[in-house]
Amino acid sequence: MLCSTLGLAAADGEDSYQTRCALCHGGDGAGTDRAVSIIPTLQTSATARLAAIITEGVSSKGMPAVAMPADELGPLVAYLKTLAAAASPGARDPRAPQPRTGSLSLVGGGALSGTILNESGFDAQIRTEDGGLHFLRRAGNAYREDTIEPFVDWSSYNGSATSNRHSPIDQIDRNNVDQLTTEWFFPIHDMRMVEGTPVVIAGVMYVTAANQVYALDAATGREIWRYSQPRTEGLVGDPAIGLNRGVAVREDLLFTVTDHAHVIALDRFTGELVWDAEMADYRDHYGAVAAPLVVDDLVIAGISAGDTGLRGFLDAYHAATGERAWRFWTIPAPGEPGSETWGDPDVLRRGCGATWLTGSYDAELDLLYWPTGNPCPDLNGERRPGDNLYTNSVVALTPRTGALEWYFQFTPHDTHDWDAQEPLLLIDEEFQGRPRKLLIQGNRNGFFYVLDRTNGQFLLGEPFVNQTWAAGMDDSGRPIVLPGSDPTDAGSDVCPAIRGATNWWATSYHPGTKLFYLLAHESCMTYTKNDRDWQRGRSWLGGSVRLADGSPNQKFIRALDIQTGRTVWSYAQTGKAQTYSGVLSTDG
């Protein structure tokens, strides 16, 4: 991997690299006739692994062990990581497209000239000088331009700002759905799971993984461009797993978040970085996984790692520059409204309330709706005796300023980690005899909610799974909590499970059937509390959980009547309850 020359005294990382390594691996790490590029290894290897490669060698590849003092090794490894970050996509992965300037001949005469983004024996993608993107299919020695008709863009994480994953397309129906087959697949390197929803605009599909964005020809899966940066070491919580749920698009810019809580903007035609804004220092437990939401010229983004003792917030950035426009803190500061609902000030400042799922927007009302996460410590509420605002809530904000218009708290004083991070669907429908602007949600706490989204008025709350913690709701929508449902030292059995009766999984409302569809989880757990205090680098659960004895553990696709909350039908999934896919309804 790394090539040694004569030993030298401790120096900064760049000097060490140039004198010890560059002879074989080149000044930029891209390789020479003596050794291959080390960029892919630098991109995917942790610093400890790189240090081991240097000091232990890789004899099977001709890499000798290098005796190196620690005060030289550390800076060298840090410098190697900067080489990986600065490398082009093609250097990081030889499979990446290698754009070139050229012309492609067309069937029937003529040619297209510009930047050939990718080319194979079957197809090509070219961007012409006028900025147009053309998708070509090979026909003999020339190409023909391909069109797909009809098509409908999926232009944001949920398909629209209303978060309702219902598509008006009717091409797929019950008569032909069994004929669907795999058209293509695209492998994403070094990712054990992909939780994002692709965005498709004018034939280009944008797919993400942690710190990676790929632009694909939606019809063939051929890669057009990619953007990537190394994964961040030292993260805590869900960002450390390696998750990213998608992108947002405005005009020629594409926006996403990184694992270490940055918002970045890319040129959506080339993948080049336009701006990079840090939301918070990842060393304070902050990360990010959710797809941003674009509202006019603002990019709205939330943070994750909401079980680790951070202070939650939601940010808005100017799309053109990356300058922050406003911040809404989901955990109030001491003395601010809502701080009286916490008790211990040391808990207040680490109260969590993360914002790790994409929100919704009503353009007519000009209101932004965002779900918030659980309080910390998750399972022990003794040091936070009040309602713990604004956790487990939906907050309605003025998008231009971030000012709070109203909020509704689904689970006050949560002690089971039942975030409100489930999709907030905005629908206009008749309810209880008159037209209303509604917000509907299947919540992790096991209840289906209907709210008036103009003012947050509670209209309906009914269980859609077996739940044992609440006797129901009062007229304001506050749960009537049953005795004995909080975690104890010995453990208490409560339904639903910590994963929730549902979770961030996509939901939909069909305006034709008048039904709400979701993935429901029937399960119960034994919840145990403890008194462990916050520690840097660790989650702050304040307890533990296990599947309760005799508990079911199964998922169902369910259809609910929004007028009553009644389950109209339920379809059981087979096997273990490990799927995280949501639902999509169509007009077919």
| 356 band by pLDDT with thresholds 50, 70 and 90 | very high
pLDDT at 238 over 90: no
Residue with more model confidence, 13 or 442: 442
Task: Read off the pLDDT of each residue in 472-476 and give the average, rounded to a whole number.
Answer: 97
Closest CA to 292 of 327, 343, 250: 250
Which range, 86-95, 132-141, 515-524, is most confident?
A: 515-524
Cα–Cα distance, 124 to 223 (Å, whole number): 10
pLDDT, one tens digit per residue, over 5-34 is: 323 333 478 888 888 888 788 888 888 777
Mean pLDDT, rounded, of the chain: 92
Residue with more model confidence, 6 or 486: 486
Cα–Cα distance, 67 to 65 (Å, whole number): 7
Cα–Cα distance, 313 to 355 (Å, whole number): 7
Active site residue 531: no
| 4 band by pLDDT with thresholds 50, 70 and 90 | very low
pLDDT at 279 over 90: yes
pLDDT at 86 over 70: yes
Residue of 417, 493, 533, 561 with catalytic role: 417
Task: Read off the pLDDT of each residue in 547-555 and give the average, rounded to a whole number.
Answer: 95
Sequence-separated (6 or more) residues with CB below 8 Å from residue 288? 239, 257, 258, 259, 260, 261, 262, 263, 279, 301, 302, 303, 304, 356
pLDDT at 162 over 60: yes
CA distances to 449, 560, 583 from 567, rounded to whole Å, are 13, 5, 16
Q: 194 near 209, Cβ under 8 Å?
A: yes
Three-state SS string across 16-41, please?
HHHHHCHHHHCCCCCCCCCCCCCHHH
Quick one: pLDDT at residue 90? 65
Task: Read off the pLDDT of each residue in 230-243 and give the average, rounded to a whole number.
Answer: 89
